[in-house]
Chains A and B, each alone.
Chain A
Amino acid sequence: MKNSLYIACCLFAFQLMMANTIHVGSHYPVKSIKKAIALAVDGDTVMVHKGLYREGNIVIYKKIAFLGKDYPVLDAQKKGEVLSVKADSVVVQGFKIINSGFAALDDPCGIKVYNKKFVQIYNNRLDNNFFGIYLQNCSNCIVKGNHIVSHGTQEQLIGNGVHCWKSDNLQIIANTISGHRDGIYFEFVTNSVIWRNISAQNIRYGLHFMFSNDDSYITNLFKNNGAGVAVMFSKEVKMINNTFEENWGDSAYGLLLKEIADGYIFNNKFVKNTSGIYMEGTSRMKVEKNDFISNGWGMKIQASCMDNEIVNNNYLKNTFDISTNGSLVLNTFNSNYWDKYEGYDLDKNGVGDVPYHPLSLFAVLTEKNASTMLLYRSFMITLLDKSEKVLPSITPDNFVDKTPLMKSLPL
């Protein structure tokens, strides 16, 4: 046993001795990155020093560490892909990668990983690429600390910042993404985590899930995107501790849920969105301890949703807290704080003695006919709203929080 460990250690040390570092730069014998990769063997390091490298598409087809010192610039001059990774266990770190091609038929990227495992992409700066980082059919990869910027305008065809397709076990950590179509896009991706990213000013969504199960996104900021996050056709997605901020627009949402089930929405902040959460065809979700502050609509729950549990949330300063499009209510609301609640608490147990109907008459009217918004805050509507509170006729009467809280939860 001891012997074999010893041999293993020796082998490892031997390996370390054998691993070479090939320097690339104007002051070094090797001036070209492609030549350095050709010279390298598995396990080597290619260290690229500061400078501008215009070598077209660079392909890494060996298990090497590909490191940049002082952010050397890889410029594809708008022709094709910049960096293609076609080997397992490659590390790409510290590059400035700019100007990939912009094509409609194939998707040229800043960095693309083809069907590989254990690839790590750290601390790169990507500027003006069609797609930023693209993981295709990969597993156990890490994308961390990259700064991804593009300058797409509304009309232009533009790709996603971090695009993951048919992958498993990914970690997307602490990246900053802006100006792309979707900040992060997950399509057929499972068992992955998205943590501490900032996705802002993207044209469509900050984060987008399609057909991706068992993922979680934790402590991210989604600000000022076309719409915040869209989770569609996915199961078991956990959404924890994120901030959804200022996603304004006609069809904009903080969080769009469509045809999803069994997820968990915990401790998020929805601030200043057109709609905080929009749910359609969503079932068995638990929405717990979230803040809904200053949104147009706190939550829009369409009648196609069922068995969702909305519990212990704060609804503060929203124009409408809740809205729905039908009379069917298959969801439960328990122990939330509603700043529009006007009940009392005689037994001083912190729970209002009068049940609260969070769905206002006016929310129902505007859902059916948007132009009724003209009458918002008019005397007639206030009167109708009050009488509706006493005798519900239009709003479904089982749409109710029986234990509304008297004080907002400290979240």
Chain B
Amino acid sequence: MKKPMLFFALLLVLASCVSGEPKPIQLNTDACDFCKMTISNGQYGAELITQKGRYYKFDDVACMIHFAKSNTVVPYKAFFVSDYLMANTLIPAEKSFFLQGGTINSPMHGNAIAFTSEKEAKDYQSKYKAALLTWKELYSSY
């Protein structure tokens, strides 16, 4: 009786691995898969999941986009970015609102930050003198 349960539990665990949920970035331990730098700031991080369920972590949104553009063969499943206001929390890139440029200073000078709501982004827009962008606009800007 117990063994099938265990089997199902294992199956569940395995299934959850490819569910497209982001894996949290381990600050100061994980290295950026594009620039090889150790990721140490949870405000600018990003993560990419491929169709096969491989995870790639980045210290800057620009690194992720450069990485995605350099490997055109790989089918991507999802893009995640760190919420600027919540330390090291990953949110889906397509639903995020981005600020780029101005006085923003990110680790690899992509100089883009992400917010969950448009209101939050607008609150910071004047402070950083940055441009408000959608994910698509940001993706094509690098």
Contact = CB atoms under 8 A, between A and B. Distances in A.
A155 to B, nearest CB: 6
B11 interface: no
B121 to A, nearest CB: 15
B41 A203 contact: no
Contacts of B36: 251, 256, 258, 278, 280
Contacts of B30: 251
Nearest to B127: A105
Contacts of A249: 29
Given A232-B35, A280-B36, A226 B41 contact: no
B35 A226 contact: no
Q: Which of A157, A181, A230 has the most CB of B within 10 A?
A: A157
Interface string B28-61: 1111000111101111000000000000000000
B27 interface: yes
A203 B28 contact: yes
Interface string A216-244: 00000000001100101000000000000
A205 interface: yes
A104 interface: yes
Contacts of A258: 35-36
Interface residues of A, number: 21
A258 B41 CA distance: 20
Nearest to B38: A204
B28 A226 contact: yes
A154 interface: yes
Interface in B14-28: 27-28
Given A104-B43, A104-B87, A154 B28 contact: yes
Interface in A340-365: none
A22 to B, nearest CB: 37
B43 A203 contact: no
Give chain B's interface secondary structure class: loop
Give chain A's interface secondary structure class: loop
Nearest to A158: B40
B41 A157 contact: yes
Q: Which of B27, B28, B41, B109 has the most CB of A within 10 A?
A: B28
A384 B31 CA distance: 33
A154 B38 contact: no
Q: Which of B30, B37, B38, B41 has the most CB of A within 10 A?
A: B38
Contacts of A250: 29, 31
A232 B60 CA distance: 15
A282 B30 CA distance: 23
Contact of A181 (B31, B35, B40, B43): B40
Contacts of B42: 157
Interface string A245-261: 00001110000101000
Nearest to B37: A230
Nearest to A153: B28
Interface in A257-304: 258, 278, 280
Interface string B99-115: 00000000001000000
A250 B30 CA distance: 9
Nearest to A156: B27
A227 B109 CA distance: 21
A155 B31 CA distance: 15
A251 B38 contact: yes
Interface in A181-212: 181, 203-205, 210-211
Interface of A: 104, 154-155, 157, 181, 203-205, 210-211, 226-227, 230, 232, 249-251, 256, 258, 278, 280
Interface of B: 27-31, 35-38, 40-43, 87, 109
29 contacts: A154-B27, A154-B28, A154-B29, A155-B27, A155-B28, A157-B41, A157-B87, A181-B28, A181-B40, A203-B28, A204-B28, A204-B37, A204-B38, A205-B38, A210-B109, A226-B28, A226-B38, A230-B37, A232-B35, A232-B37, A250-B29, A251-B30, A251-B31, A251-B38, A256-B36, A258-B35, A258-B36, A278-B36, A280-B36
